[in-house]
Amino acid sequence: MESRSSSGDMGRIASWVKSHRPMYHRATQHPFVVGISDGSVDLSAFKRWLAQDYIFVKEFVPFLASVLLKAWKHSDDESDMEILLGGMTSLSDELAWFRKEASKWDVKLVGIAPQQANLEYCRFLQSLMLPEVDYAVAITAFWAIETVYQESFSLCLDSSSKTPEELMETCQRWGSANFGHYCCSLQKIADRCLEKASSDIIRKAEEAFVCVLEHEVNFWNMSCGE
Ligand SMILES: Cc1ncc(CN)c(N)n1
């Protein structure tokens, strides 16, 4: 595990992205996303992802509420609340967008069972919602979850990508520069919290980061039908 001193001026988060590069790459450049960006995506995989991600995002709302509660209790910077409240607003938009997108693709959202990888990811979110989980750990996980989607979908907006027109809205939702700025704000919060954290909390935050990457890879695999 890399310490701040051995990573020079780099923040803790950037140093973890560097030290876990292969896993980070697997989560952010998964064949599912590469398939969207080169136009080879299997639309039945996209539809499966859409229905499963709707279930995930519904679980993500109480998780963000728990992060907000921790910020309210423990943060020494009032702007954290503003940034997280902005995140809550975009989640509300996101849920409405899923319903609209599902009707466009004729995908059923009601009565759909979460698949194993989704269930495990949601269980992980629930474990992070416990009051004993430190704010630094929860905000690190939150940053990682949002950032995997930002990095993944921004790949599909590259000028060299061949993303199908009907999937562009999906890619813009998470791949836009705006969403990128939001992820940078989350990274700054996480770095600030980690600067003051004990070595035990830092270790737990790094573990949470790696766990998010593993769950994201499993979620993409599940969407591909594996
Ligand atoms: C599985 C997953 N990871 C991240 C995101 C981005 N909120 C999402 N919607 N779904």
DSSP per-residue codes, 23-54: HHHHHHS-HHHHHHHHT---HHHHHHHHHHHH
Mutating to test ligand 1, I would choose from 58, 142, 146, 151 the residue with most ligand atoms within 8 A of its C-beta, which is: 146
DSSP codes joined into one string, 65-96 = HHHHHHHHHH-S-THHHHHHHHHHHHHHHHHH
Residue 152 pLDDT: 98
**How many Å apart are CA 126 and CA 118, to the nearest integer?**
12
Rg (alpha carbons) of the chain, rounded to whole number: 17
- Buried b / exposed e over 24-37, threshold 16 CB at 10 Å, is bebbbebbbbebbb
**How many Å apart are CA 142 and CA 114, to the nearest integer?**
21
Nearest one of 116, 114, 73 to 226, comparing CA atoms: 116
Output the CA 202–ligand 1 centroid distance in Å.
Answer: 23
DSSP letter (8 states) at residue 110 = T
**pLDDT digit string (tens) for the chain, length 226 residues:** 444 434 567 899 999 999 999 999 999 999 999 999 999 999 999 999 999 999 999 999 999 999 999 999 999 999 999 999 999 999 999 999 999 999 999 999 999 999 999 999 999 999 999 999 999 999 999 999 999 999 999 999 999 999 999 999 999 999 999 999 999 999 999 999 999 999 999 999 999 999 999 999 999 999 999 8
Domain ranges of the chain: 15-223
Mutating to test ligand 1, I would choose from 32, 56, 84 the residue with most ligand atoms within 8 A of its C-beta, which is: 56
Output the CA 145–ligand 1 centroid distance in Å.
Answer: 6
Question: CA 118 → CA 51, 146, 220, distances in Å?
Answer: 11, 16, 10
**How many Å apart are CA 183 and CA 144, to the nearest integer?**
9
Residue 31 pLDDT: 97
Nearest one of 219, 193, 200, 75 to 141, comparing CA atoms: 193
Tell me if ipTM is over 0.95. yes
Catalytic residues: 216
DSSP letter (8 states) at residue 1 = -
Q: How many CB atoms lie within 10 A of CB 51?
A: 21
CATH class as words, domain 15-223: mainly alpha
Within 6 A (CB) of ligand 1 lie 53, 56-57, 60, 145-146, 148-149, 216, 219
**How many Å apart are CA 1 and CA 18, to the nearest integer?**
11
